[in-house]
Amino acid sequence: SEQKIRMFMTILQLINDRMEAALNAAGAQGAPAIIQLSSKLEFGDYQANGVMAAAKNLRMNPRELAQKVVAALDLKGVANKIEIAGPGFINIHLDSAFLARRNETALKDEHLGVTLPPPLKLMVEYSSPNLAKEMHVGHLRSTIIGDALARVLEFLGHDVVRANHVGDWGTQFGMLTAYLLETGNANNVAMALSDLETFYRNAKVRFDESEDFANRSRDYVVRLQRGDPEVLALWRQFVEVSIAHAQDIYDKLGVGLKREHVRGESAYNADLPMVVSDLQDAALLSDNDGTKVVYLEEFRTQENQAMGVIIQKKDGGYLYTTTDISAIRYRHRMLGLQRVIYVVDARQSQHFQQLFTICRRAGFAPADMALEHIAFGTMMGDDGKPFKTRSGGVVKLADLLDEADERAYTLVSQKNPELPEDKKRHIAHVVGIGAVKYADLSKSRTSDYIFNWESMLSFEGNTAPYLQYAYTRVQSVFRKVDDYDADASILILEPAEKQLAVALAQFEDVVLGVAEAGYLHHLCQYLYQIATLFSRFYEACPILKSEGAVRASRLQLAALTARTLKTGLDLLGIEVLEEM
Ligand code: ARG
């Protein structure tokens, strides 16, 4: 049965199951074990924290309960030392032979030994810029975090639908159309929009200065919504040009968004009247002097009234939320998604909580369809204010990514002046983009983070260049070896080997945790730990100077380290290099 358990459970799940059985046997029926990876070496490898709460419920002394639990705990073949610490923590030290087998299994498996969960059909919605403007840094976090999350979920075998819910509908298109026609550019849209940002700015100036222009703009909005072929044709071109701009950015960033993942707000337009009538039928809609509103008791206004979410304005116009409701309805009925993940700025939190509540109540999203807002904070400049150009303008993403390449190129040229030019350029690109992505992913997404070129491009500390370099260092070992045996057994003898082996065996629990809660910084932290433990191991346990089975085993640990780093970085959307 040991064999069977190993195949179907992660270490965390295994310890959890055994610990809960022990809690039951000790009289704490149904108490959660609360197993975590230990934060410090002296706390063992895994830690159970559930005893304290269980003892409180039973009105028992927690250390006494802990002793009973440990006496009943069966971790034969898994742990070789179990200790009680503090008020009743249980620290678990894994058995070296058990670890060695896990590591060997990981080495032979294309998923590095990760226990794959039951596959789901799920969607990661990310990037989702408003079109008609160039992409700016405000879109970076969603694009990077969403892509990494999609990669993690795909790695775990889920059927992942990527969605780019672009803002391609709304009043700004009336303004742009008016400006296009006024400047005589209707036959030359691509050309006129080659600098999208300037075009938009100029149109806005006209809109603000001329009443007549503003009226024409409004008229185009109405015509667009009515489906006037001339206006529709121009609008289509705006959208295509903007999407092409965005695609350039996605390609530069190496994110997996393609044209076919775009399904913009406009795609839901035709369904909006149905959303309204469905809400009406579900008796959720109130008519407030011609405005159609859903009142939500669980959201309160400052005056402690039920909050109203507007579904349709008096003039018949629909809102951002109406489109989002329609999208959920579509995603359930047409796509049959079981989990939908929205990677969107934290400032839209309330919007999503209200959206989800309405969709549940209206039956657009059944209870077993998970809806999650993966929120993130704002990207700040060194001055602690939202990131801007020196002159205070919005930073275009295209410029930011070019700067990443340039800065990395300078670094690479200093480090390695002899490299041929094209190689330097390639390394610079991989390092520069990796640095930008990793700087974002390695911070807890829920807080704001400070964008700083020097720290993200440093070869020391928790950065992409450090990890990429660590990977090439491990690989360099293999360039000096001509007798690597991919089937050799792993022997865990020294403390530095044990620490590395434990960390390597935790890959699956880390990845599964990320897939659940979307905290990619846990994976970053983990990879950084692997790189650090590898250097300690490398110093304490000579590889090439050792012999026989020990040498073969150490090479295996190095091989698993390299694969773990490479796979982990790949999940983050970051490339590695064989040499740098
Ligand atoms: N286009 C929106 C913006 O730029 C983000 C869309 C987020 N996704 C959604 N389903 N509402 O703010």
Q: Phi-psi category of 88—alpha, beta or left, where left has phi over 0 and alpha has psi -120 to 50?
A: left
Q: Round to whole Å and give the CA distance between 186 and 59.
A: 79
> pLDDT tens digits for 284-301?
999 999 999 999 999 999
Does a structural domain hold residue 67?
Answer: yes
- Asked whether 271 and 333 are in contact (CB, 8 A), the reply is no
Contact 531, 562 (CB under 8 A): no
Q: Is 516 a residue whose pLDDT tops 90?
A: yes
**Cα 130 to middle of ligand 1, angstroms:** 7
Residues in the chain: 580
In a domain, 183, yes or no: yes
As a whole number of angstroms, the distance between CA 20 and CA 445 comes to 32
384 pLDDT band, cuts 50/70/90, is confident
Q: Give CA 405 to chain center in angstroms.
A: 23
Confidence (pLDDT) at 194: 82
Find the 166 Cα to ligand 1 centroid distance in Å: 7
pLDDT digits (tens, 9 = 90+) for 70-119: 999 999 999 999 999 999 999 999 999 999 999 999 999 999 999 999 99
Asked if the structure places residue 217 within a domain, the reply is yes
CA end-to-end distance (rounded Å), the chain: 47
Ligand 1: centre distance to CA 155 (Å): 26
Q: How far is the CA of 129 from the centre of ligand 1 (A)?
A: 7
Residue nearest to atom 11 of ligand 1 (CA): 324
CA of 188 to the centre of ligand 1 (A): 29
Q: What is the pLDDT of residues 148-174, one digit of tens each?
A: 999 999 999 999 999 999 999 988 899
Residue 289 burial by CB count (10 A; 0-12/13-18/19+): exposed, middle or buried?
A: exposed
> Does 246 have pLDDT greater than 60?
yes
- Bridge partners of 93, per DSSP, are 81
Mutate to test the pocket of ligand 1, among 330, 344, 394 (most ligand atoms within 8 A of CB): 344
Cα(97) to ligand 1 centroid in Å equals 50
Model pLDDT, residue 5: 39
- Dist. CA 208 → ligand 1 center (Å): 25
* SS3 per residue for 369-407: CEEEEEEECCEECCCCCECCCCCCCCCEHHHHHHHHHHH
Predicted local distance difference test score (pLDDT) of residue 185: 87
The answer as to whether 65 is a domain residue is: yes
CA geometry: angle 255, 334, 234, nearest 5 deg: 60
The ligand 1 atom at the shortest distance from the C-alpha of residue 320 is 11
Residue 244 inside a domain? The answer is yes
* Residue bearing the bigger pLDDT, 249 or 133: 249
> Rounded distance, CA 309 to CA 137, Å?
30
Q: Which of 292, 315, 449, 298 is nearest to 360 (CA)?
A: 298
Buried b (16+ CB within 10 A) or exposed e, 415-424: eeeebeeeeb
Band the pLDDT of 326: cuts 50, 70, 90: very high
The rounded distance, in Å, linking the Cα atoms of 102 and 115 is 12
> In 416-519, where does DSSP find H-type helix?
421-441, 453-456, 464-479, 495-505, 507-517
Contact 491, 132 (CB under 8 A): no
Which whole number is the average pLDDT over 55-69? Answer: 96
Task: State pTM to two decimals.
Answer: 0.93
The answer on pLDDT for 453 being more than 50 is yes
Q: Cα dist. 50→32, 47, 53, 79, 509 in Å?
A: 6, 9, 6, 18, 19
Output the CA 177–ligand 1 centroid distance in Å: 22
Q: Is residue 494 in a domain? A: no
3-state secondary structure of 71: helix
Residue finishing a domain among 94, 115, 147: 94
Ligand 1 atom 6, closest CA: 128
Q: Cβ(189)–Cβ(238) under 8 Å?
A: yes
Determine the pLDDT at residue 7. Answer: 47
Residue whose CB lies within 8 A of the most ligand 1 atoms, among 131, 161, 319, 348, for a mutation test? 348
159 inside domain: no
Alpha carbons 47 and 33: distance in angstroms, whole number: 9
How far apart (Å, rounded) are the C-alpha atoms in residues 255 and 157? 19
Give the residue-averaged pLDDT of 412-429. Answer: 95
Average pLDDT (519-525) is 97
Give the residue from 473, 475, 477, 468 showing the smallest Cα distance to 438: 468
- Mean pLDDT, rounded, for 132-146: 90
530, 543 Cβ separation under 8 angstroms: no
Q: Which of 94, 128, 154 is the last residue of a domain?
A: 94
ipTM above 0.90 for this complex: yes
Query: In this structure, what CATH number is given to the domain that contains residue 14?
Result: 3.30.1360.70
pLDDT value at 52 more than 60: yes
Cα of 179 vs centre of ligand 1, distance in Å, is 25
Two structure tokens written together for 301: 């206004």
Q: Which of 165, 345, 378 to mutate to test the pocket of ligand 1 (most atoms within 8 A of CB)?
A: 165
Residue 526 lies inside a defined structural domain of this protein: no
Do residues 559 and 499 make contact, with C-beta atoms less than 8 angstroms apart? no
- What is the number of the ligand 1 atom nearest to the C-alpha of 344? 7
With 0-12 CB in 10 A as exposed, 13-18 as middle and 19+ as buried, what is 343?
Answer: buried
Distance from the CA of 192 to the center of ligand 1, in angstroms? 26
Domain around 32: 2-94
**282 has pLDDT over 90:** yes
Atom of ligand 1 lying closest to residue 351 CA: 11
Mean pLDDT of 424-452: 96
Other C-beta atoms within 10 Å of 349: how many? 12
Within 6 A (CB) of ligand 1 lie 125, 128-130, 165, 167, 324, 342, 344
CA distance 236 to 225: 13
Distance 6 CA to ligand 1 centre (A): 43
In whole angstroms, how far apart are CA 259 and each of 293, 337, 557? 35, 21, 42
Phi, psi of 408, deg, nearest 5: -65, -35
Ligand 1 pocket test: pick from 123, 125, 127, 128 the residue with the most ligand atoms within 8 Å of its Cβ. Answer: 128
pLDDT band (50, 70, 90) for residue 8: low
Among 451, 436, 444, which Cα is nearest to 574's? Answer: 436
Distance CA 60, CA 387 (A): 54
**Into how many domains does the chain fold?**
2
Question: Residue 184 carries which DSSP code?
Answer: T
The per-residue pLDDT of the chain, averaged, comes to 94
The model's confidence at residue 193, banded by pLDDT at 50, 70 and 90, is confident
CB atoms within 10 A of CB 173: 23
Residue 3: is its pLDDT beyond 80? no
The last residue of a domain, from among 196, 223, 256:
256
Q: Are 131 and 90 in contact (CB under 8 A)?
A: no
